[in-house]
Structure 1
């Protein structure tokens, strides 16, 4: 794997870091958040099938070794729907 490339935890595809969503378990308070922070990270493709599989098989929780709140999945689904709304308007 080349520098600045990451692996999607759902589909196992390698892609540039900038094209994937980053989910972080922040150290030391173990909060789960998107995009920013230092700590354990997992990367996910911004595609519906990857997000659906990650949610169904609990892959984010396994990769981050922490319970992932439902609100995080909701915000990821909203993020996924946002580009389609921009092009429709």
Structure 2
């Protein structure tokens, strides 16, 4: 079985799926979850630069096609 590669929405680096944070917009409720769930996903490197760029340029919101509450960013900042 071949490995699963994903791409960071901020720096566009491709790596194994386990190296990224996964942010999910759950269907049909539209709620956001971290790491587990089924729905539309975005992957982000666990680095300061990537998180800053994603927050500043609204890359998570565009990728997930929804507005991102500040609580999600606060949780990601705490994980660093």
Specify if TM > 0.5.
yes
1:65 paired to 2:61: no
TM-score w.r.t. length of structure 2: 0.96
The gaps in structure 1 that reach 5 residues or longer are 81-89
4+ residue segments displaced more than 3 Å: none
- Rg larger for: 1
The gaps in structure 2 that reach 5 residues or longer are none
**1:51 CA displacement:** 0.1
Alignment of 1:26-45 (within 5 A): 26-45=26-45
Residue aligned with 2:42, SS: strand
Q: Distance in 1 between matches of 2:67 and 2:42?
A: 13
Aligned residues: 79
Counterpart in the other structure of 1:11: 11
TM-score w.r.t. length of structure 1: 0.86
Counterpart in the other structure of 2:47: 47
Greater helix share, structure number: 1
**1:49 CA displacement:** 0.2
